[in-house]
Structure 1
Amino acid sequence: MKKIEGSPKNLKQLLQNTKYSIHYYQREYMWQRKHIEELIDDLTTEFLESYKEGDERQDVQDYGAYFMGSIVLAGRENAIIDGQQRFSTLTLLLIYLNNRIKNMGKSYRLIEEMIYSESYGKESFNIDVDDRQDCMRAIFHNEPYDITDANESVKNLYGRFNDIKEIFPEDSITDDMLLHFCDWLANKVFFIEIVATTEQDAHKVFVTMNDRGLSLTSTEMLKGYLLSEIKNDKKREELNNIWKDKILQLRKDNDDGDETFIKSWLRSQYAESIRESKAGAVNKDFDIIGGPFHKWVRDERSKIGLNTSEDFELFIKKFDKYSDVYLKIKRAEKTFFKNTQYVYYNAKVDFTLQSQVLLAPICYDDDWNTVGEKMNLTARFIDLYILSRFTYHKRLGYNYIKNYIFRLTKDIRQCSIDELKEKLNEYYIGLSFDPAHALPGLHLTSSTRRYIKHMLARITSFIEEETGVASNYVHYMDTNTKNPFEIEHIISDHYEWFTKEYDNQDEFKYYRNNIGALLLLHKSINASLNDSKYPKKLKKYCSNEGNIYSESLGEQAYKNNPKFIRFMNKHELSFKPYDTFGKDEIMERNDLLVQLVNLVWNPDMFRE
Structure 2
Amino acid sequence: MAESPISGHGFTIEQLFSGQRFGLDYYQREYVWTRKHVGSLVEDLYQRFAASWHPEHSRSQTSEYAPYFLGPFVYFEEGETTYLVDGQQRITTLHLLLMHLRRLLVEQQIDADDDLSELDKLIRVSKHGRRTYTIAIDERSALLDSIYKGGPYTLPENSTPSVRNLYERARDLDETFPPELRGESLLPFLDWLRDRVCLVGIKADSREQGWEIFKTMNDRGVKLDPIELLKGFLLSHAHDRHQLDVEWRTMLARIIANEPYTPSDFITAMLTAKYADLSETGPGSDTDRIGTAAHEWVRENHGRLNLHGKDSYHRFVTKEICGLADRYVSLLRAAKEPYKDREPLFHNAVNGLDQQYTAILATVSPTDDLDEFWSKAVLVAGYLDLLYVRRFVNDKARQPDALDDDVAHLVPRLRDCRTSEDVRNLLSQEIAGLDDDFTGITATKFGLRHDNRKQVRYLLARVTAWVEKECGKPDPIASYLDRQRPYEIEHIWANKPERYQSEAPTLAKFNALRDRLGALLLLNKSENASYRDVPLSEKIAAYRQQNVLAASLHPEFHRARNPGFRKLRNNREYGLAKLFQSYKDDSEFTAKAIDERQKLYQRLCELVWAPENYGFKIPKQVTPERRAARRGRARYDVTVGELIQNGYLAAGQEIFGTRAGERYTATILGDGHVKVDSGEIFTAVSSAAMFVLNRQSANGWTFWHVKKAGGKATLKSVRDDALKAGLRDKATLLE
TM normalised by structure 2 equals 0.75
Partner of 1:302: 303
Partner of 2:617: 607
Partner of 2:290: 289
In the superposition, relative to structure 1, how do residues 259 and 532 fare at CA in structure 2: closer, same or farther (>3 Å)? same
CA contact (8 A) 2:337 2:478 kept: no
CA distance in 2, matches of 1:534, 1:20: 49
CA contact (8 A) 1:169 1:400 kept: no
Per the TM alignment, residue 466 of structure 1 is displaced from its structure 2 partner at its CA by 1.6
Partner of 1:194: 202
Q: Does 1:551 align with 2:559?
A: no
Matching residue's letter, 1:563: G
From 68, 81, 86, the counterpart of 1:82: 86
CA contact (8 A) 1:11 1:189 kept: yes
In the superposition, relative to structure 1, how do residues 523 and 45 fare at CA in structure 2: closer, same or farther (>3 Å)? closer
CA offset digits 1:309-365 (Å, max 9, x no partner): 222122111112211111111111112211111111111222232222222221343
Taking the TM superposition and a 5 Å limit, the aligned residue runs for 1:151-300 are 151-164=160-173, 167=176, 169=178, 171=180, 178-211=186-219, 217-231=225-239, 233=240, 236-273=241-278, 275-276=280-281, 282-300=283-301
Unpaired stretches in structure 1, ≥5 consecutive residues:
none
Matching residue's letter, 1:421: R
Secondary structure of residue in 1 paired with 2:532: coil
Q: Does 1:402 align with 2:404?
A: yes
In the superposition, relative to structure 1, how do residues 366 and 84 fare at CA in structure 2: closer, same or farther (>3 Å)? same
Percentage identity across paired residues of the two chains: 31
CA distance in 2, matches of 1:521, 1:513: 15
Per the TM alignment, residue 3 of structure 1 is displaced from its structure 2 partner at its CA by 4.4
CA contact (8 A) 2:30 2:162 kept: yes
In the superposition, relative to structure 1, how do residues 59 and 78 fare at CA in structure 2: closer, same or farther (>3 Å)? same
Partner of 1:23: 25
From 113, 119, 123, the counterpart of 1:111: 119
Partner of 2:453: 449
Q: CA RMSD in A?
A: 2.9
Per the TM alignment, residue 69 of structure 1 is displaced from its structure 2 partner at its CA by 2.0
In the superposition, relative to structure 1, how do residues 365 and 61 fare at CA in structure 2: closer, same or farther (>3 Å)? same
CA contact (8 A) 1:322 1:359 kept: yes
Partner of 1:586: 594
Q: Does 1:391 align with 2:393?
A: yes
Per the TM alignment, residue 382 of structure 1 is displaced from its structure 2 partner at its CA by 1.2
CA contact (8 A) 1:72 1:82 kept: yes
In the superposition, relative to structure 1, how do residues 259 and 542 fare at CA in structure 2: closer, same or farther (>3 Å)? same
Q: Does 1:378 align with 2:380?
A: yes
Partner of 1:314: 315
Deviates more, 1:263-272 or 1:348-357: 348-357
In the superposition, relative to structure 1, how do residues 554 and 48 fare at CA in structure 2: closer, same or farther (>3 Å)? closer
Secondary structure of residue in 1 paired with 2:448: coil
Per the TM alignment, residue 301 of structure 1 is displaced from its structure 2 partner at its CA by 0.7
Secondary structure of residue in 1 paired with 2:415: coil
Q: Does 1:420 align with 2:423?
A: yes
CA distance in 2, matches of 1:191, 1:583: 53
CA contact (8 A) 1:459 1:597 kept: yes
Per the TM alignment, residue 174 of structure 1 is displaced from its structure 2 partner at its CA by 8.7
From 564, 589, 598, the counterpart of 2:606: 598
CA distance in 1, matches of 2:214, 2:515: 49
Per the TM alignment, residue 135 of structure 1 is displaced from its structure 2 partner at its CA by 3.2
Per the TM alignment, residue 470 of structure 1 is displaced from its structure 2 partner at its CA by 0.9
In the superposition, relative to structure 1, how do residues 407 and 133 fare at CA in structure 2: closer, same or farther (>3 Å)? farther
CA contact (8 A) 2:398 2:452 kept: no
Q: Does 1:139 align with 2:147?
A: yes
Matching residue's letter, 2:429: E
Per the TM alignment, residue 593 of structure 1 is displaced from its structure 2 partner at its CA by 1.1
In the superposition, relative to structure 1, how do residues 215 and 252 fare at CA in structure 2: closer, same or farther (>3 Å)? closer
Partner of 2:132: 124
CA offset digits 1:258-280 (Å, max 9, x no partner): 1111111111111113654xxxx
Unpaired stretches in structure 2, ≥5 consecutive residues:
619-735
CA contact (8 A) 1:275 1:287 kept: no
Partner of 1:9: 11
CA distance in 2, matches of 1:179, 1:12: 15
Matching residue's letter, 2:431: Y
CA contact (8 A) 2:10 2:199 kept: yes
TM normalised by structure 1 equals 0.90
CA distance in 1, matches of 2:6, 2:526: 53
Partner of 2:343: 341
Taking the TM superposition and a 5 Å limit, the aligned residue runs for 1:34-45 are 34-45=36-47
CA offset digits 1:401-427 (Å, max 9, x no partner): 323322222332241323322332333
Taking the TM superposition and a 5 Å limit, the aligned residue runs for 1:507-546 are 507-543=509-545, 546=546
CA offset digits 1:121-163 (Å, max 9, x no partner): 9963212223333333333344554457454434433443454
CA offset digits 1:158-185 (Å, max 9, x no partner): 44345445555554x6966554443332
Per the TM alignment, residue 63 of structure 1 is displaced from its structure 2 partner at its CA by 4.1
CA distance in 1, matches of 2:49, 2:254: 37
Partner of 1:475: 479
Per the TM alignment, residue 529 of structure 1 is displaced from its structure 2 partner at its CA by 1.2
CA distance in 1, matches of 2:189, 2:543: 49
CA contact (8 A) 1:453 1:486 kept: yes
CA contact (8 A) 1:6 1:194 kept: yes
CA contact (8 A) 2:327 2:366 kept: no
